[in-house]
Amino acid sequence: MPSISPEIDQFIQGSWPLILMAVVFYFILWRPQKKEQKKRSEFLTSLKKGDKIVTIGGLYGVIVRLNDKTATIQIAEKVEVEIARTAVSHQQPPRGNSTPAES
């Protein structure tokens, strides 16, 4: 078996912490961020007319028109606002017929 020169051995011993940090960086930061970006992108493309949404600015409304880059939402009767499609934060949770718990 050929022996490794001392310079190469020292390089390997000195560089393994950097390689380990790169692997940790990938699994802790990069990969989850990419998953989140993909999930958000799918959400924005799945928006449709009639969806009840909340914007990043806190406006609640119903989508009345959609374009590639913008969405028009109705926030009150006869009040429509055009927003960037990327300004949609999330959909409003469905309102159920829940009643307060009785004691």
The secondary structure of 12-52 as a DSSP string is HHHHHHHHHHHHHHIIIIIHHHHHHHHHHHHHHHT--TT-E
Residues 1 and 41 in one domain: yes
Residues 38 and 53 in one domain: no
* Amino acid (1-letter code) at residue 80: E
Rounded to an integer, what distance in angstroms lies between the CA atom of residue 89 and that of residue 92? 9
Q: Which range of residues forms the domain containing residue 73?
A: 48-94
What per-residue string of b and e applies to 7-27 under the rule 16 or more CB within 10 Å gives b? eeeeeeeeeeeeeeeeeeeee
Residues 77 and 42 in one domain: no
Whether 102 is in a domain gets the answer: no
- Overall number of domains in the chain: 2
Residues 62 and 86 in one domain: yes
Residues 33 and 61 in one domain: no
Residues 18 and 4 in one domain: yes
pLDDT, tens digit, 9 for 90 and up, residues 48-99: 999 999 999 999 999 999 999 999 999 999 999 999 999 999 998 877 655 4
Note the pTM of the prediction, 2 decimals.
0.68
Whether 101 is in a domain gets the answer: no
Residues 15 and 3 in one domain: yes
